Structures are given as structure tokens and as C-alpha cells.
Amino acid sequence: MNKISGIFGKRVFNDRVMKEKLPKDAYDALHQHIESGTELENSTANVIASAMKDWALENGATHFTHWFQPMTGVTAEKHDSFMSPDQGGGILMNFSGKELIKGEPDASSFPSGGIRATFEARGYTAWDPSSYVFIKGNTLCIPTVFCSYGGEALDKKTPLLLSMEAISKQASRLLALLGAPVSKVITTVGPEQEYFLIPRELYDMRKDLRLCGRTLLGARPPKTQELDDHYFGAIKTTVSEYMEDLNQELWQLGVLASTEHNEVAPSQHELAPIFSTANLAADHNQLTMEMMKKVAERHGLVCLLHEKPFAGINGSGKHINWSLAAENGENLLKPGKNPIENTRFLLFLCAVLKAVDDYQDLLRISIASASNDHRLGGNEAPPAIISIFVGEDLLEVLEAIAQGKTCVPPKARMMDMKASVLPDIKKDATDRNRTSPFAFTGSRFEFRMAGSLTSVSCPVYMLNTIVAESLRQFADALEKAEHTEKAARDLIRSTYLSHKRIVFNGNNYSEEWVSEAERRGLLNLKTTADALAHFTADKNLKLFETHKIFTETEVQARQTIFYEEYCNTIKIEALTLLDIVNQDVIPAVCKYTRALAETIAAKKAASGGQLACRAESLDMAKLSARTDCLYDKTLELKQAIDDTETMTMNRNAAEYFCRKIIPLMEQIRELADELEAGTASEYWPMPSYQQLLFT
Ligand code: ADP
Ligand code: MG
């Protein structure tokens, strides 16, 4: 047995373990329940729970928890032990079917966006049998959904599961019409996760990193990523030991962590798993982020998952690779040898083009956050404008169809590798356009706008839902058609013609694209504050209702939660910045200014006023003037924050934070960074960028 297969899935109650531990009828009933949603009898649930408990105890677990993904962005768990007293003063280890299936955590501690009135604290967690139960530490974790007393979703997982059903339903309708029926269609997802690693002792000395996850100030070091020497570079020993340890943990949890490499920025890395069903991928990504942080502790490191921990260098994203597969695993987005004749592929492709064009706003919202705003539109991540890259070859196919042609001349694309010792490499049918927010990469789409902290669930449920809507419209149209194949070809052509404005193969980072996109009428929702208002647009409410993802109340609640989260994030950052400037930065600069003054006095005294003190005097003057400016700005920021005290955290407040507080914070940062550059390093009260990134 090799190293990986020996430990892989060791702590997961997966299908293999179920087969081994469950009586055949319970195993079959559970599968029926997962696949067709049939009720699970109480007695069967008890048998399953008991087998889970025995397996958990064998593997050292003492507690169990319902593990869920509330709207906070992190996972939640409340541990209960298996223990209950027996009559003879000893203990019994118990776990019932009821405890497996349903939990009642206090919902009042989680964001509900007003769904839950304060007096009604009850919330429910319900077992999601489509994701495996696993052991983390000493606890058996049961993946669950989380909803209110009234049944409204309070988590990120519920809409994901519903959207998987919605897209499966519509895609299956379409496939049946094309003469190749399937019983279901699966959403496949592989999220690439970027992160930073920095030494723990330096992290501990930065209030901003500890409280906000990102640096709020810090002068630019002389070197950052301009030499491109970090990307795919040799991995440092401390980091490779960390990665190895992390892989071991993830493999045991059944996470298919597969690729790892250094990223563009110094101290930045990436981990990509092998793709899986969307629901599992979402759970696994949450686990991956949690383990990344935990394992870092063991190595004297801290893992930063914030989208933009350091200004001036690349931030971290999470590329969501997404596709659809028939139940036998066949990828529905594979163009095949001759894409122009592949009606099924072209229909699915056009469904995505149409969906992304019709619902640009929802995709933008699905990845919107105060932290991701720092990334989007910088010259490192796609801009906030959504467009699709399809690659040269596919564009040629689509254009040919638009002109009524039925074939395109085949061409071999050989890369000229110059040196004859190197093999000819057939050029990828889709060159990698790294600047595109939404790229077709050969047999899947890659949504690159998601930030490193974004839960996989949000972008994926949006994608599923909007594509389900295109597929629904396609299926409706084909159902009415006399000649399916011909109608399908017409549909492909008309859809492409109506939505080709969303296709863009060029450089998304360029200035020209911004004006070109405007001419095309594409949305450019630069900030979260700009984007969120669109969530409750009529067309979006209708979409969610049609596919039974959310009621109007649920969408409104989510919008409220996002506004609150956005405002609170910025507020905490602004308060932290004030704290650092007042308690650390200004005192440090004063101390250094005093040292300069004392040096001048000492030099003058020692030389009877003869020694030159020009440098010290000029520095002192500059520092003092800047300190005054900085001080004034802090007063302004303080007042601006005080003014938010009476505000409800809604759209107006979000606008205020975006247009008033953020610019003030930026001005403060600029002054503080100038002061840092002009102050002797031994006086600076926290580790510099240079120390943080190059230690
Ligand atoms: P790249 O650097 O080209 O973006 P990576 O290998 O880092 O590629 O990541 C590609 C990701 O896409 C992996 O997680 C992989 O499993 C995933 N992927 C591949 N095929 C599919 C598919 N059909 N559906 C969803 N994800 C996929
Ligand atoms: Mg990628």
C-alpha cells in the first residue's frame, strides 16, 4: 500500500465504510434516501447512527457535532459527547437516529438578516446525507443544512443543494429532448485555493493582521514580485514541510488535495484538489481552509486567507472550476473532436453564455465582499466587469455558426519550440487567458473572480441557478419544436447572436476594455456597495422563485446580511487603523523626532553650534508636519465613524462606508506609510512589509 492510499479517507464514513459497517438493508435504504429522497425510517436511522458511533469510537472520537455553514463565512459546530449515565453509576455511549438527523442550535447567534425575530431563537440543522460524515480531532462531524423555525435557509449550503437539483432537472429535460436521457446531471467543482504563509512571531506583532486579517498600513519594500521569481519557484523547506503535513491531514479527511505550488507574490502559495461533486467540493474547501490555519500553527506559521493581506502585491483568489456531468461521469462541456457538429455541447455552451450575460449582476454579487473589493480591478485579478473568454478556436466555431456555416477548416496548432530536441507541443485549444474573469478552459469554465475567503457555495449556487434558467428556456423551446435538431441549431445561433457581447478574448486588464465593455452595455459594478442593490431586482427574485432556490424574504434577508457584513468589516478596520495610528504610529514617530531633536542639541552643545545638523533638522520638520496631517485625518475618521453609530446597516450605510470611510482610511495609510519610510526602523512599532514577506 503506498503512502496516500494507506491513509486516504481514513477519517471518513464513506461508501466503503458504510458497506462494511451497515447491514445490507440499511445501506440500501440510505442510498435510496440520498439518490431519490425517499424517507428514512426511524429504525433505519437508528441503525445507521449506531454504526457511525461505533466507528467513531473505534477511531478515537468522543463527541459529535452537526457541522454547518452559517452566513458568517466560517463553519459552525457545537460538540455534544456520546456519553450518557447508566443506572449503575457508569456511562453508556449513545447516538440515536434522531440526533443524527436533526439538531437545534440556537439560531440567535448567527446572522439571519431579520428572518428570525429576536424572541424566536430556534434554528434547525438537518443532516445532509449527500456529504460524508467525518472525524475531526475527537469529534464526529455530521454535515448539515441550517434553517430557521419557519424553514427559511440560514446557511450557504441549502441554496447550493437546491441549485444542484434545479440544474439537474433542467439539464436532464434538455438531454431527454436530444434523445439521450439521463436520470440526473451532476455539478462538478474544483476550487483552487490561494493563501499566504508568514511567521507566527511577526504576525503576533501586527494588530491589523490579528484583528482584520490584512495589513492596514505598511510602506512598500524595495522589492516585491517584480522579478517574477516566486511563481512556481522552489518551495522553501519550512513551507514544503507545512504542505506535506497539510496533505496528510486533508487526505485522511478524504480531500483530494493534489497540486501545490508557489504563487506570484512572495510567501504566497496555492493548493488545488481534484474536482468532485459541488456539494462535497464546498465542504472540502471549508475543511481545507480550516486545516490550512490549524496546520500552520504547528509549524510556527500563520496562514492568511484574506483576499488582500498586503497592498502593492497580488492578493489571493479562489478559482472555481465548474462543469456539468452526466451520472456516468461524462463531461457535458467537452467540445469533442468536431465542436461545430456537437449540438449538445454547443447548447450547453450557449446556455452558459446566455446565463452569464443575463445575470452578470448575480455572479458579481456571489463573490462580493469588502475584502474581495481590494482585489478586483487591480492589475492582478479580473476587473469587476464580467465577460467570457472562449478562446480563438471556439470563437471561430461560434462565428461560423452565426454566419450560417456548418464547418470550419481544421488547423493543427503546433507551437514552435525552436530547439529541435524539444517535442512539438500541440497548442492548447484554449490558450490561458489569465485576465478573464470567466474562462472556458477546454472542458470546463473557470470563474476567477472569487476571492480566497469566498465560500464555494455562493458562486456555484448562482452559476447553477442562472444556467438552469437558460436550460429551462431551451427545453421549453425544444419541447414545442417539430424538428428537434433543427430547432436546437437555430437556438444555438440565435442565442449566440443575442449574447455575443459577453464574449471577450482580449486583455481584461486594459483600459480599452473598460470603455469597450461600457459600449457593449455590460455592467461594471466596481464595489460591493454598487453590486448588492441588484440582488433584489425583479428579474432575480423571479429567477430564484422559478427554481425554488429562495423566497423573496430569503433574498432580502441575504441582502441585509451582506450589507451588515460589509459595513461591519470596514468599521472594524477603521477602528483598528485609528487604534494603531494613535497608540503605536504617532507615539513612535514622536519618540524618533525627539531623538533627532536630542541629537541636534547634543551636536550643537559639543561643537559650540559648529556641526552641521541639516539632515536631522529637515527630517524633524518633515516628520512633524506629516504627523500633524495624520493627526487631523484621524480626527476626521473618528468623526466619520461616530456618524455611523445611528445608521442602520443598509444600502445607504454601505455607500457611506464605501465613499467616505474607505477613502479616509487610504489617506491615513498614505501618510502613515510615508512616516514609516522616514523613521529609523528600530523605532517602528511593528514588523515591516520587508520582514513579513521575506523572512
Ligand atoms: P490551472 O492552474 O490550469 O487553473 P489547476 O490544475 O491548478 O489548473 O486546477 C484545475 C482545477 O480544475 C482542479 O481542481 C481540477 O480538478 C479542476 N477540474 C478539472 N476538470 C474539471 C471538471 N470537469 N469540473 C470541475 N473541475 C474540474
Ligand atoms: Mg486556475
pLDDT score, position 401 = 95
Instruction: Report domain extents, the chain.
Output: 3-155, 177-183+336-411+428-549, 193-217+227-270+285-315, 565-694
pLDDT digits (tens, 9 = 90+) for 591-646: 999 999 999 999 999 999 999 999 999 999 999 999 999 999 999 999 999 999 99
pLDDT score, position 673 = 97
CATH code 3.40.50.720 for 193-217+227-270+285-315: no
In ligand 1, the atom with minimum distance to the C-alpha of 270 is 7
Could you name the CATH architecture of 3-155? Roll (3.10)
Banded pLDDT at 108 (limits 50, 70, 90): confident
Q: Is 269 in the pocket of ligand 1 (CB under 6 A)?
A: no
Between 591 and 108, residue with greater pLDDT? 591
Q: Is 444 in the pocket of ligand 1 (CB under 6 A)?
A: yes
pLDDT score, position 121 = 66
pLDDT score, position 115 = 75
Q: Which long-range contacts (CB under 8 A, 24 or more apart) does 392-398 make?
A: 392/430, 392/431, 392/505, 393/339, 393/429, 393/430, 394/335, 394/339, 394/349, 394/429, 394/430, 394/440, 395/503, 395/505, 397/339, 397/340, 397/346, 398/496, 398/500, 398/503
pLDDT score, position 209 = 98
Pocket mutation for ligand 1, best pick of 320, 349, 444 (most atoms within 8 Å of C-beta) = 444
Percent helix, percent strand, percent coil in the chain, to nearest 5: 50, 15, 35
- Across residues 661-685, what is the average pLDDT? 97
- The one-character DSSP state at 331 is B
The whole-angstrom separation of Cα 196 and Cα 469 is 38
CATH of domain 565-694: 1.20.120.1560
pLDDT digits (tens, 9 = 90+) for 342-377: 999 999 999 999 999 999 999 999 999 999 999 997
pLDDT score, position 423 = 44
The whole-angstrom separation of Cα 256 and Cα 44 is 31
pLDDT above 80 (res 336): yes
Share of the chain above pLDDT 70, in %: 94
Phi, psi of 523, rounded to the nearest 5 degrees: -75, 145
pLDDT above 80 (res 410): no
Q: Is 443 in the pocket of ligand 1 (CB under 6 A)?
A: yes
Q: Is 355 in the pocket of ligand 1 (CB under 6 A)?
A: no
pLDDT above 70 (res 689): yes
Please name which of 181, 185, 177, 180 lies closest in space to residue 487, comparing C-alpha atoms: 177
pLDDT score, position 425 = 43
In ligand 1, the atom with minimum distance to the C-alpha of 322 is 25
Which residues make Cβ contacts (< 8 Å) with residue 270, sequence separation at least 6?
192, 193, 194, 195, 259, 260, 261, 262, 263
Pocket mutation for ligand 1, best pick of 185, 285, 321, 428 (most atoms within 8 Å of C-beta) = 321
pLDDT above 50 (res 422): no
The whole-angstrom separation of Cα 6 and Cα 335 is 37
- Average pLDDT of the chain to the nearest whole number: 91
pLDDT above 80 (res 228): no
* Segment among 49-63, 69-83, 137-151, 215-229 with least mean pLDDT: 215-229
